[in-house]
Amino acid sequence: MAPETRSGIFRLPEKRGGTVIQVKLRQEPAWRLRELLRGNGLEVGGRWQELFDRLQAFSRNEASWVRDPLVTRTSLRTRRESDTGRKTQNTGNAQPMRKSRKTSSKVSSTSTPKSLGGHLHPRLTLTDLPVELITLVLEESEKDDVLSLAVVCRGLNAIAGFFFLKSIGLQAIPHGWLTFGAYVGHPFGVIPGLCIVLNCLANVSSLTFCFSTSDYSKELYRALSILKRLTSCNYLSFHLPNYAYPSPSLASSVSTVLEEFLSELASKNVRTLQIEADFHTVPKRSSKALLPAISIERAIVNTPFIHNSPFRDWFISSFNASPIQSLRINYGAHFSSFLIRLSLPSLREFDVTSCGQIATNFDPFRSFLLRHPTLVSLHLGCCKYIATKGTISPLPQGSLPVLQSLTVHPSILPYFFSIPYSSSREGLSSRRGRRVADRDNPISSQFPPHLRHISLLNMTESCYSTYGVTMDASLEVCKTALFSVSACSAITVITISFDDLLNSEHLRAIGRSQSLTLPFIQSASFRFRERAPLDQVKAILIPWFQRTFPNAELFIIKLAIMHWWEQEEKSDFVRKVRDFCPQVKSVGINFQQYKIEDWLAQAEGQ
C-alpha cells in the first residue's frame, strides 16, 4: 500500500460501475513523467515525446478527468493499426519535435473529443502508454487502483497483477499451496484480487482456510470463489478454532454456501479432505441432488454437520464412491445409521473421536469391523464402558488379519479378544454387573497376528461416576488390560494415557499388587492430559516402568502443554531414567527425542 502523500502522476480510483476506468492527471504531468523516466535511466524521444506533448495538452485544460472505456478486441486492433502507422511515419527518434506534433494530430484527429473548455485535444488512454511507463504508474498506485487496472485488458492484467501479488507478499505460490486466515495465511480480503489476476491460480493444488471471525459465512463465500476458479484441488482443509465463537444465527446462510461448496468440490478431484469446524447448520431438504466426490483417499471430518441432512448423504455417498484409505470422523447423533451405510473396500485407517459424546452400543462397530478386514490401524476414542446386553462375545478369530495398531479404552478390549483374568476377583463387570464370557480361554491365538502397537486410553480417569463405574471396577479394568497385553508377545510398542498422575491411585495399586512384566515391549509411551509433577513421576512412574518393561529401550513421556517441564526438569528426569533404567537408550519428552547421552550433553552445554 503506497502512502497517502505520494509523488505519483496518476491517481487511479476504483472502477465505477464495472464499465469505465477513471484516470486523473496532475497539473504537471509532462515534466513529472520526464523526471521519472530519466531517474530510471530511460531516454525521452520518438513516440515517448509524442505522449509527453499530448499529456502537456491535457494539463493546460481545466478538465482533469478522462474516461477510458474497457478495451475491446476491436479497439485494441485499431490502436495497433494506429501504432503501426505512427511507426511508419516516425522512422527514428531524431525527428524534429514540431513534426512529431503534426504526426500526433493527424493520427489522433479521428478520435479527438471536445473538452469542457471548448478546445480540441488528442485523446489519451492508459493503454496508449508504454509498458515502462505503466510500471512507473503502478509503483505509485494503491492496491485497489492496481486491481482496477487489472480488469482492463490482458496486457494490463499481467503488469498490474504482478504488483498486486507483490503488495500482498505472494509473488509465487510455493508447491501449489495457498493458505488463508490464521497467522501464517493471507487475509480473506485478498481473494477477490487473486480471482482477477490472470493465471494467478493456475498452479494452486492445495487450499487451506482458517476461519477466524464469528461471521465466517462471508469467508466461506470467498473461499468458494477461489475453489470455482481451480480446475482441480488435491488437498482442501477447513479449520474453525474454538475462539471464533460460531453463531447459530448464521446457520441458514452457512448451510446454503456449504451446499454450493460440496457441489463444487465433487468436480475438483480432491484426494485429501480435512474439515475441523464446528459449523452451525440447519437440517433441510436439498433443492438439488448433490453429486458425490469420487476421488477422496484421505478424509478428516470433525464437524457436527456431517450428521445433518443433506450433508450426511453427501459424505456417505462420497466415501463409498471414493478409493478412501484413511477416514477420521467424529461420533455424534445418528452415528449408528451413518456407520452401517459405509462400505469402504480400500480402508486401511479408521478413527472415531468422541467430541464429548460416548457410544452406548458396540454392535454398529462390530458390524463395521467385520465388513472391513483391510484395516491396518484402528482408533476408537468414543467407546468407554459400553453398557452391554448379556455377555460379551469377542470378534471372530481372523476378523482383522492385517491390523497392526489398535487404540482403545481398556474396558472394551473384551470385544476384541477373549481375556482371562489375572486375579481371583470375580472378573470384569459391565455397567449392570454382568460377567464376561469365556474369560478362561487362552488369548494368544485371538490377537491379530500382525498387531505391533497397542494404545490404552484414559487408564486413570477422574470422573468414574460419569460411566457408572466404581473405582474398584475401573482399577480391575486397567489390571486386566495389562494382563491381556502380556499374552501377545508380538506387541512391541505400548502407549498408555493417563488423566492426572497426582491423583492416580491406579498406578500405585497396580504397582503394589502386580508382579506382571512385559519383556517383549521395546518402546513405552505415557501421555498425561493433566498434571504430571516431576517428583511424582520419579517416585511412581519410573519404578513401575522398570518393573513392567525391563527390556524397553525407548521411554517417552508427553505432557499437557500447560504443564510442560522446564529444561532443568527435563535433565533431572533423564538422569533419573539413566540411573534407574539401565536398559533405556533413548528418551522422548513431548516432541523431542534424543539418546540419553545427547540429552545430558545439551544440559552440560547450557
Is the domain of 98 the same as that of 225? no
- Contact predicate 124/132, CB 8 Å: no
Is the domain of 14 the same as that of 108? yes
Q: Which pTM value belongs to this model?
A: 0.74
Residue 372 lies in a domain: no
Pairing, β 523-528 against β 20-25: unpaired
Instruction: Report how far apart, in Å, the C-alpha atoms of 76 and of each of 10, 83, 86, 113, 312 are.
Output: 22, 10, 15, 19, 52
Task: Give the pLDDT of residue 134.
Answer: 73
Task: Give the pLDDT of residue 2.
Answer: 34
End of a domain among 294, 320, 346?
320
Residue 226 lies in a domain: yes
Is the domain of 77 the same as that of 195? no
Is the domain of 128 the same as that of 190? no
Q: What is the 3-state secondary structure (H, E, C) of 575-597?
A: HHHHHHCCCCCEEEECCEEEEHH
What does the alpha-carbon distance between residue 223 and residue 239 come to, in Å, rounded to a whole number?
A: 12
Is the domain of 138 the same as that of 176? no
Is the domain of 180 the same as that of 278? yes
Residue 122 lies in a domain: yes
Is the domain of 178 the same as that of 102? no
DSSP 210-252: E--SS-HHHHHHHHHHHHHT-S--SEEEEE--GGG---GGGHH
Residue 262 lies in a domain: yes
Residue 51 lies in a domain: yes
Which residue bears the cell 474396558? 411
Instruction: Specify the amino acid at residue 313.
Output: D
Residue 121 lies in a domain: yes
Is the domain of 201 the same as that of 253? yes
Which residue bears the cell 492416580? 504
Which residue bears the cell 547450557? 606
What does the alpha-carbon distance between residue 580 and residue 582 come to, in Å, rounded to a whole number?
A: 6
What does the alpha-carbon distance between residue 486 and residue 404 come to, in Å, rounded to a whole number?
A: 16
Residue 582 lies in a domain: no
End of a domain among 300, 320, 340?
320
Helix extents (H) in 322-470: 335-340, 363-371
**In the chain, how many H helices and how many E strands?**
19, 18
Look at residues 23, 245, 316 and name the one whose alpha carbon lies nearest to residue 148. Answer: 23
Which residue bears the cell 534407574? 580
Is the domain of 71 the same as that of 24? yes
The stretches in the chain having pLDDT less than 70 are 1-130, 132, 137, 140-141, 213-214, 242-249, 286-287, 355-357, 385-391, 418-446, 459-475, 499-515, 606
Digit-coded pLDDT (tens) for 76-90 = 334 444 444 444 444
CA dihedral angle for residue 424, residue 426, residue 428, residue 430, rounded to 10 degrees:
-170
Kindly state the helix (H) or strand (E) to which residue 265 belongs, with its residue range: helix 251-265
- Contact predicate 293/311, CB 8 Å: no
Domain range for 130? 10-143
Is the domain of 116 the same as that of 258? no
End of a domain among 270, 297, 320?
320
Is the domain of 176 the same as that of 316? yes
Is the domain of 126 the same as that of 186? no
What does the alpha-carbon distance between residue 37 and residue 138 come to, in Å, rounded to a whole number?
A: 14
Residue 99 lies in a domain: yes
Kindly state the helix (H) or strand (E) to which residue 125 belongs, with its residue range: none
Count up the domains in the chain and report the number. 2
- Contact predicate 250/215, CB 8 Å: yes
